[in-house]
């Protein structure tokens, strides 16, 4: 089945916080997977007095990654 011509493939940045994971952001769309992954890396980066990641409280752990989506570019902002 062919997609409508006004739809485009983009990459959606998903950001989860804590364990168990809770979705805290799922509305940033990017044309480029490289740019999306750059934002994912910066979003998940943490600063603090943690010499080892296992010392970080599980509630403060962040996971961010990009997934492909087919969307109508007239309905969302795409970076």
d(CA 23, CA 4): 29
pLDDT higher at 4 or 15: 15
Give the structural domain span for 63. 8-71
Residue 45 lies in a domain: yes
**Would the pTM count as exceeding 0.85?**
no
Residue 78 lies in a domain: no
What's the pLDDT at 2? 55
Residue 40 lies in a domain: yes
Residue 76 lies in a domain: no
Which two tokens mark 42?
């910066």
What does the chain look like in DSSP terms, one character per residue?
A: -PPPTT-EEEEEEEEEETTTTEEEEEEEEES-HHHHHHHHHHHH---SS-SSGGGS-GGG-EEEEEEEEEE-TTTS-B-
pLDDT digits 0-9 by tens, 51-64? 676 777 888 889 99
Number of independent structural domains in the chain: 1
Residue 79 lies in a domain: no
Query: Where is average pLDDT lowest: 42-46, 48-52, 61-65?
Result: 48-52
Residue 66 lies in a domain: yes
d(CA 8, CA 41): 24
């Amino acid at each position: 089945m062919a997609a409508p011509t006004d739809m485009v493939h983009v990459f959606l940045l998903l950001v989860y916080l804590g364990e168990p994971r809770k979705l805290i952001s799922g509305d940033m769309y990017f044309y480029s997977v490289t740019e999306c992954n750059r934002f994912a890396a910066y979003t998940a980066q943490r600063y603090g007095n943690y010499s080892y990641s296992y010392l970080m409280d599980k509630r403060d752990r962040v996971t961010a990654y990009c997934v492909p989506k087919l969307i109508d570019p007239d309905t969302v902002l795409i970076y």
